[in-house]
Amino acid sequence: MTVFARERDNGGTGERGPVLGLSTSQQVSVITASSTACTNAVGSDTTMITVWCTSDFYVDVAATPVATTTGAAWPAMTPLDIKVVPSSSKIAARGITAAGTLYVMERS
């Protein structure tokens, strides 16, 4: 189960963490033959992204990401929250068994 920021315990205090705001979104076509990256890095205020894809996919987040078949795999239509470095992180994905569309929502 994906744990969203609004559901996280705030440092063991029993209080819930802040809800993150929504910002810019990106999408990219994902294929099985190779890794495909979003064109733009996340914004300067972005600390987390939520990603989901219409097909099962491998994912990588870095300044120059490459999603490989030995990387992190994630099931289709399942949101995934990833902490990112503002202004420098990009995301790449590769379909596992089928092509699809990767959606990226920046959050801050």
One pLDDT digit (tens) per residue for the chain, 108 residues: 344 444 444 455 555 555 566 667 889 999 999 999 999 999 999 999 999 999 999 999 999 999 999 999 999 999 999 999 999 999 999 999 999 999 999 988
CATH code of 68's domain:
2.60.120.10
**Domain annotation covers residue 41:** yes
pTM: 0.77
**Domain annotation covers residue 91:** yes
Specify the amino acid at residue 50: T
Phi then psi dihedrals of residue 7, to 5 deg: -100, -10
Query: Which parts of the chain are beta strand (E)?
Result: 22-30, 36-37, 48-53, 57-62, 72-74, 80-83, 90-95, 100-107
**Domain annotation covers residue 48:** yes
The structural domain count of the chain equals 1
Q: Residue 74's domain spans which residues? A: 22-107
Distance separating the N- and C-terminal Cα atoms of the chain: 22
**Residues 87/43, Cβ–Cβ less than 8 Å:** yes
| Calpha distance 12→68 (Å, rounded) | 35
